[in-house]
């Protein structure tokens, strides 16, 4: 990339002093340097967003910057990891200063909110593709896995399901009162980092809801060799989602729509209620494999196909 273009990247991404004590050297050399204190494990994750696959071509760049970072921090949250650094790989069709300014503002605002430093990255030209690698730490042996749910566990979510999915429908033309908060859920998810940290030593298994509650909970079920029964009446839903379900009869939306980025986790039934009072109990882990939901007096089997890129 030519020097002038590189100066632009530097202007938008390298002008922030490092904040987190683990980070010693950030943008500007061949590698970044950081020190993880002994007794901790490093948690590493990557997520990529591709134009016309993960976001619309007319997406607002500041919202893209926010969401790109949020989905990566959400993966750390789901492990109970504390984020401290990210790298950013940008593939851009052209240098657009307005776009870069807005994108970096959305990205860096969320980074500062979580005390995360941007410590490096890569910039290339090509079809718009945005990729982040996020680094976090967990005290040795305390990470929240998918594989450790136990029969008899209660299943919880940290917040409402279906708002982001309905926000996508609003973008596609669904009309309702006050669509703004639905669009905010879709465009600007809040990673449940504090909740993930609070669940260390409490939850048996945990995952973040990116592909939909049914698909993501099914990952816990498969990895743990168990099944689950959910209670429809206990699903936390906004009035907008409840209205949508009543009007459309599409009651599966809050179960299969993605992008909510709440955490779904399981806990022993003996855990004190106080540790869980901010969360919503939606069902129970059972021995029989598969995912079922009790709704209107019937037990329905839930298909758990998430989004498949190559099908």
Binding site for ligand ADP (CB under 6 A): 9, 13, 27-30, 88, 90, 118, 120-123
Strand partners, 83: 136
Interaction of residue 28 with Mg ion, rule CB under 5 A: no
Find the shortest distance in angstroms from Cβ 64 to ligand ADP. 14
Find the shortest distance in angstroms from Cβ 136 to ligand ADP. 18
Partner whose footprint covers residue 88, from ligand ADP, Mg ion, none (CB < 5 to 8 Å by kind)? ligand ADP
Partner whose footprint covers residue 118, from ligand ADP, Mg ion, none (CB < 5 to 8 Å by kind)? ligand ADP
Q: Which is nearer to ligand ADP, 120 or 167 (CB)?
A: 120
Q: Which is nearer to ligand ADP, 5 or 294 (CB)?
A: 5
Partner whose footprint covers residue 61, from ligand ADP, Mg ion, none (CB < 5 to 8 Å by kind)? none
Q: Which is nearer to ligand ADP, 8 or 214 (CB)?
A: 8
Partner whose footprint covers residue 226, from ligand ADP, Mg ion, none (CB < 5 to 8 Å by kind)? none
Q: Which is nearer to ligand ADP, 118 or 182 (CB)?
A: 118
**In the block, residue with structure tokens 């298994």:** 205
Q: Which is nearer to ligand ADP, 123 or 129 (CB)?
A: 123
Find the shortest distance in angstroms from Cβ 120 to Mg ion. 8
CA-nearest of 154, 170, 188 to 265 is 154
**Distance (Å, rounded) from C-alpha 303 to C-alpha 205?**
21
Residue with the shortest CB distance to Mg ion: 122
Partner whose footprint covers residue 279, from ligand ADP, Mg ion, none (CB < 5 to 8 Å by kind)? none
Find the shortest distance in angstroms from Cβ 124 to ligand ADP. 8
Burial class (CB in 10 A: 0-12, 13-18, 19+), 283: buried
Find the shortest distance in angstroms from Cβ 29 to Mg ion. 11
Partner whose footprint covers residue 81, from Mg ion, ligand ADP, none (CB < 5 to 8 Å by kind)? none
Q: Which is nearer to ligand ADP, 120 or 212 (CB)?
A: 120
Q: Which is nearer to Mg ion, 124 or 181 (CB)?
A: 124
**Distance (Å, rounded) from C-alpha 110 to C-alpha 68?**
10
- Please report, as residue ranges, which positions from 119 to 138 form the binding site for Mg ion (by CB under 5 A): 122
Find the shortest distance in angstroms from Cβ 270 to ligand ADP. 46
């Amino acid at each position: 990339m030519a020097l002038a273009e590189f100066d632009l990247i530097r202007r938008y991404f390298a002008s922030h002093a490092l904040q987190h004590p683990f980070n010693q050297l950030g943008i500007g050399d061949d590698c970044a340097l950081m020190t993880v204190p002994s007794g901790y494990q490093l948690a590493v994750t990557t997520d990529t967003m591709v134009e016309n696959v993960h976001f619309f071509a007319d997406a607002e760049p500041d919202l893209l910057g926010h969401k790109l970072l949020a989905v990566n921090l959400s993966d750390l949250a789901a492990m109970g990891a504390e984020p401290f650094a990210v790298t950013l790989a940008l593939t851009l069709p052209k240098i657009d200063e307005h776009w870069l300014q807005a994108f970096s503002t959305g990205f860096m605002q969320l980074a500062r909110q979580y005390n995360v430093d941007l410590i490096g990255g890569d910039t290339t030209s090509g079809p718009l593709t945005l990729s982040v690698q996020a680094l976090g730490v967990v005290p040795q042996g305390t990470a929240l896995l998918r594989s450790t749910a136990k029969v008899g566990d209660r299943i919880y979510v940290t917040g409402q399901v279906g708002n982001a999915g309905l926000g996508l429908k609003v973008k596609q033309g669904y009309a309702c009162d006050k669509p703004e908060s639905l669009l905010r859920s879709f465009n600007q998810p809040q990673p449940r980092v504090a909740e993930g940290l609070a669940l260390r030593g409490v939850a048996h298994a945990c995952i973040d809801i990116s592909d939909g509650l049914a698909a993501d909970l099914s990952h816990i079920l498969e990895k743990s060799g168990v099944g689950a029964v959910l209670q429809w009446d206990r699903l936390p839903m906004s009035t907008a989602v409840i209205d949508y379900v009543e009007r459309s009869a599409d009651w599966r939306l809050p179960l299969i729509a993605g992008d909510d980025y709440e955490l779904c986790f399981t806990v022993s039934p003996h855990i004190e209620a106080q540790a869980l009072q901010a969360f919503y109990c939606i069902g129970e882990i059972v021995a029989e494999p598969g995912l079922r939901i009790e709704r209107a007096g019937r037990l329905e089997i839930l298909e758990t196909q998430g989004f498949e890129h190559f099908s």
